[in-house]
Structure formats: structure tokens, C-alpha cells
Structure 1
Amino acid sequence: MLTRRSALSVPFAMPALHRAAAAPGDAGDFPSRPVRVILPYAAGGQADTIARVMQPRMSEALGQPVVIENRTGAGGSIGGGIVAASPPDGYTLLFDAASFLIVPLAVRGLPFDYETAFAPVGLVAEQPYVLAVSPSMGVSDLAGFLAAARAGSEPIAYGTPGIGSIGHLAGALLATRAGIQLEHVAYRGGADVSRDMAAGTLRMGILSYNSIGPLVQDGRARALGVTSGIRRGDRRIPTIAENGFPGFEVTSWTGVFARAGTPPAILHKLAAACNHATADATVRERLIAIGSEATEAQPEAFAARLVTEREVVKGIVREARIVFQ
């Protein structure tokens, strides 16, 4: 069983947000033209929303426009491939989520290696996923949901932002530990999951609070638990861990990457721009409103964390017996 210490949100010491890491070397006149940010997910999702909240302040710090492009498909690897094929100059960035670690396991025949193609710029936010159900299920808490799942003869379909997403892993892990049958349904983004839940064609979803929150607030969905080890975002929503599954933790994050080989001085200048954005009180308040918490971008700390979390992800895939087609 995975313990909280080995879970996806591995804690590490971080200085206060207002202190940017010292940048080694000289970034020269970078940037001297607009910086392109590739979002490998659909508009309206968690990573997309975070990027757009940060965009004005990043532009302010860099003195150049930050241009966001949504390039979806293949579990996020379409967008990843664009950055992997770009020059290592810091002008094309990948704004990705924790599924960055899962895509190499889920998508076959990738033309690049996720582990070596990118240079971490920094972690900018952390957020849990939310297990939510339609009121038509007639359950009000996780215990009630599990009882209904065990009593049914057919698997319960749950929607997530895609194959290999944090929601996918969380659902598979819960099914294994709870001894219930769940059927994963992959969507192109969390907004699409919430749309079908609102329409009544999907009874369960595991997705970001940014996507499901509006439905929860107006009573069209019920939030039964968050996937993080501690309560994050809306503190009224209990964790899955505290509902009989100690050690359960599958937490998402949002981070920024450049092409491998980008000079360290440029990576640190980009990290400083991220920190300028997340240190802004308005930005932090908007992140909290969508269930995210700002962190400080540090290239070296983020790189070390990725090494640890790759092994954690592999452990979850093994335990949950996930087979990617």
C-alpha cells in the first residue's frame, strides 16, 4: 500500500513564494520576442485556467507577450511533441499536469522520451481531483457510493480528462482497494466530463474542482471525496483517505517545462516569471477559487521531485493493475 510519504504529492522544502531562486549565469537579452506556451489540454480545464490566470503577470515579468496555444490529443503527447521538437531556447514552453508522468506508460510509439526531452522550469500549483457523482445516484457520501457500487451488477462508468490522467489512476486505485467495479471513460478534458454529468448522461466523474465545482455549487453534482492525502481546495470535501483508505493519495500538479538543453540561466529567468505571477495576491486568490494552491517554481527541486514521482506512478499502475491499450 502506498503511504502518504510516497504519494504523488511528495513534499519538499520550499522557500516563501516571494523569494525567487537565484539564477545561475546570464540569460542575455532573453526574451527578445514573445514566449509561446503549449497547453496539451482542452480550454477550460485546470491547467488551461491556471496558465491563463498567470499569463498577464508572466508577460509583465518577462517584458514580452506570453502566447497560449491549446494543442490537445493523444493524452497530451501532441502538445508535448511540439515542445520536444522546438529549439532549446526557452521560447516554447509546455504547461503540463501530473499526467506528464503517466503518458509515457499510456501512449505507445511516442517519437520522443518524456524523461529526457524536457527541462523542468518549475512547479506552479498543486491540486487534488474530486470524486463527484450525479444526485440521481441517491448517495450523499463515499460510504454510500461504495455500498451502491457493491450492490450493482454492472460496473459504474466514471469520466476523467483522459487516459492516463490523475482521475484515471485515482479511479482504478479506488476500485482495487475498495473491491468495486468501475469502468473508465476517457474524455478530452474535464469540461467535457462536467458537461455530460450536467446533462445526466454520466453519473460519476473524477476531475479537477475547477471543472466540477460549478455543478457542485448549484446542486447538479455531489462531491464525495478528494484524492489528496489532506483536504485541499474546498476544505468541506473529505479526503478518500479519511473515509477508510489510509494512505490513498493521487494528487495532481501543474508545472512548466522547456526543451531539454535550454540554458540554466533562461530556465531560472522563466521560473522567476512564474513566481512573479504566483506571488500576486489576486492570482493566488483565483487559484484557490478553482481548488489549486500556488507553489514556488524551482528548476532543480522540480527535477528531483519528478524522479521520485515517476516511481510512485509506476507503483500505482502496478497496484491498480491498469493496462493501457
Structure 2
Amino acid sequence: MLSRRTAIASAMILPFAAHAQDWSPNRPVRVVAGWPGGGAADASLRVVAPHMQTALGQPVVIENRAGASGSIAAAAVAQAAPDGQTLLFDAAGQVSNPFLMRGLAFDYLTAFTPVCLFALLPNVLCVRAETPIHSVPELVAYLRANPGQPCANTGIGITSHLAAVMFASIEKLQVTHVPYRASSQSMPGLLAGETLFTFNTTPLSVPLVRDGRVRALAVTTPQRIPSLPDTPTMQELGYAGFSLNEWIALFAPAGTPANMVARHAAAAQQGLADPVVRERHALLGMEVMAQGPAEFGAFLAEQRTRIGALIRDNNIRLES
């Protein structure tokens, strides 16, 4: 369970921190984030950063460099010296971008070292509250009777899009994917009737569910989530292995020494273990993970294998 993973990761902080004490940064640490300020992912970093700053003994300076599914920020960090002074705060695009983007000046698969998985942002399958659709089987029946219905997503290859592709592929549905420039635009599009349904992350979907404007049909996590306890998982509904969620994490340039990576991971885990930080994440609908380099690296490898297969099997391209 997610909470158990978090507890295990939190319990490992003290020995991990002790192991990492043989290095400290000698100037402010720059963290480059691949999105604009103000969103849930940015809020996660900003609430953890003061704790990292205390643990590291140096200011942590956040630099937002949005655009191109996070690849602009990633490119900046890929070119940085592996000296522990520059980190990347990125999302699940780390996994999908290598299969979709061509001509990048760096290789996602070799340019970065995993440091700490901060949190999951579960995807929620939603429809407008005004629709007569109250369950996933009802949605499937409607889509079979009315092929080509529009589904909102936040960009080709983003987890909201991939979840919808997986759903349509399993049910053999004909769906029109409507990409928006940002999650903050896709939900207003749903409410305005531009699209019929969407998979979208909890920070945007849960408040609308609570306000009665959007109906949650399912979540894409293996277990139900605290913010939507009455909403079933896709796996509960018979979609075996259906787990596809956004996530946010810290990376270092490849070649960063292990003791530096360990020190940054311990600092981030210390922040993520703080009760106020955990409460803030819960309010935003995020599931704290706090995985260090080894566990996060295994998670990353599994994600790359699964997401890569999904992209290849469905012939997903950026221009599609």
C-alpha cells in the first residue's frame, strides 16, 4: 500500500542521513523545475525546499523553466556539472519523453541519476456531473453507442492521455483525444462540454468532485485514495494492472557521486516526513512516497518498461 511504502521510506531516513554526512554543498543548490510556478507540483517542491535547506546548510534556489513537457528544464540539468549543486525536479515525462521526442541534445535514459521520488498524483476518471453517466460500465456503454466522443488530456504522452489510451485500447473504443496546453485548461474544457470525459490528477479533479461539478468514476491507483474513499479503482472494476499516475521526483545529473545523491535524498526525505508537509500534500490530493535512490530507481525502470510498451503498442506520436 502507498501509506506502507511511505512509512518504510520514512523509517529509513535516519540511517540514510548518517551515511550521507560526508559531503555538504558549498554554495546554494539550484533546483530546476520543469513547469511554471503555482501548481500542485510546484507547491510540493516549495514546501519541502525549506527542510532541504536546513538539512543541507545552504539555500535551495528553485528555478522554474517550463515548456516542452519538461524537456527544457531537463536539458539545462543534463548539461550541468555533476557536482551536487544542480538538481532537476521533474514528472512522469521523464519516462514518456524518450519514446516521443526526437532530436534532443541529451538522452533521458543516461543523463540523470534518480535521487528521491516525492509523491504520486493519482489520475481520476471524471465526467461532468450533469451527464447521465454514473459508472465506468455506463461510460463504456455510452462510448460504444456514440463512437468518437472527445476525451480531454493535457498533452500527448502525458499520463492523462496514456490512461485514456489504455482504457480505450482495453475496451476497443473509438475516442477522440483532445489535448490541452495544461491541466488547468482541460478541466474547464470538460465543464464547458467541450469533452465528455477525462483522466486528470487529484489536485484539479478532487476539488471539483467535492463541489459537485464533476463526478469521479474511478481512480488509477492500485488502492483507493483517501481523498476519494468511495471511488473504486480501475483494478477493482476488472481492469487488471491498470495503474497509471502522474508523479514528481528529484534527479541529479548523471555522474553525480553517490554520497552527494545520498545527501540530497536524505534531505528531501527529511522534509517529506514532516507532518505539516505531509498534511499539505494530502490536501493537494498527493500521495507522499519519499523513495530514495535505489527504490526510486527500481520504480523508474518499471515505469519505463510499461510506459514504453504502451506507447509502442498504440503507435503514439507527438503529432497524433
- C-alpha distance 60-187 of structure 1, shift in aligned 2 (>3 A): farther
1:215-234 superposed matches below 5 A: 215-233=208-226, 234=228
- C-alpha distance 108-228 of structure 1, shift in aligned 2 (>3 A): same
- C-alpha distance 236-320 of structure 1, shift in aligned 2 (>3 A): farther
- The equivalent residue for 1:276 is 270
Q: Does 1:51 align with 2:41?
A: no
Provide the rounded CA distance (Å) in 1 between the counterparts of 2:25 and 2:190.
43
Q: SS in structure 2 opposite 1:137? A: coil
Q: CA contact under 8 A between 2:190 and 2:196: conserved in structure 1?
A: yes
- C-alpha distance 25-287 of structure 1, shift in aligned 2 (>3 A): closer
Provide the rounded CA distance (Å) in 2 between the counterparts of 1:83 and 1:17.
27
Provide the rounded CA distance (Å) in 2 between the counterparts of 1:23 and 1:309.
30
Match for 2:46: what amino acid?
Answer: R
Alignment partner of 1:124 out of 118, 127, 130: 118
Q: Which has the larger displacement, 224-233 or 196-205?
A: 196-205
- The equivalent residue for 2:287 is 293
- The equivalent residue for 1:205 is 198
Q: Does 1:167 align with 2:157?
A: no
Q: SS in structure 2 opposite 1:201? A: coil
Shift of 1:182: 1.8
- C-alpha distance 199-90 of structure 1, shift in aligned 2 (>3 A): farther
1:160-199 superposed matches below 5 A: 160-199=153-192
- The equivalent residue for 1:135 is 129
Percentage of identical aligned residues? 39
Runs (4 or more) in structure 1 with deviation over 6 Å come to 11-14
- C-alpha distance 133-299 of structure 1, shift in aligned 2 (>3 A): same
Q: SS in structure 1 opposite 2:231? A: coil
TM-score (norm 1): 0.88
Q: CA contact under 8 A between 1:125 and 1:294: conserved in structure 2?
A: yes
The structure where helix makes up a greater share of residues is 2
Match for 1:135: what amino acid?
Answer: A
Shift of 1:174: 0.3
- The equivalent residue for 1:4 is none
- The equivalent residue for 1:76 is 70
- C-alpha distance 98-246 of structure 1, shift in aligned 2 (>3 A): same
Q: CA contact under 8 A between 2:21 and 2:263: conserved in structure 1?
A: no
Q: CA contact under 8 A between 1:90 and 1:258: conserved in structure 2?
A: yes
Provide the rounded CA distance (Å) in 1 between the counterparts of 2:252 and 2:288.
20
- C-alpha distance 236-41 of structure 1, shift in aligned 2 (>3 A): farther
Shift of 1:260: 0.9
- C-alpha distance 243-85 of structure 1, shift in aligned 2 (>3 A): same
Q: Does 1:112 align with 2:106?
A: yes
Provide the rounded CA distance (Å) in 2 between the counterparts of 1:124 and 1:70.
17
Shift of 1:200: 4.1
Q: Which has the larger displacement, 155-164 or 140-149?
A: 155-164
Match for 1:55: what amino acid?
Answer: A
- C-alpha distance 15-51 of structure 1, shift in aligned 2 (>3 A): same
Q: Name the count of aligned residue pairs.
A: 314
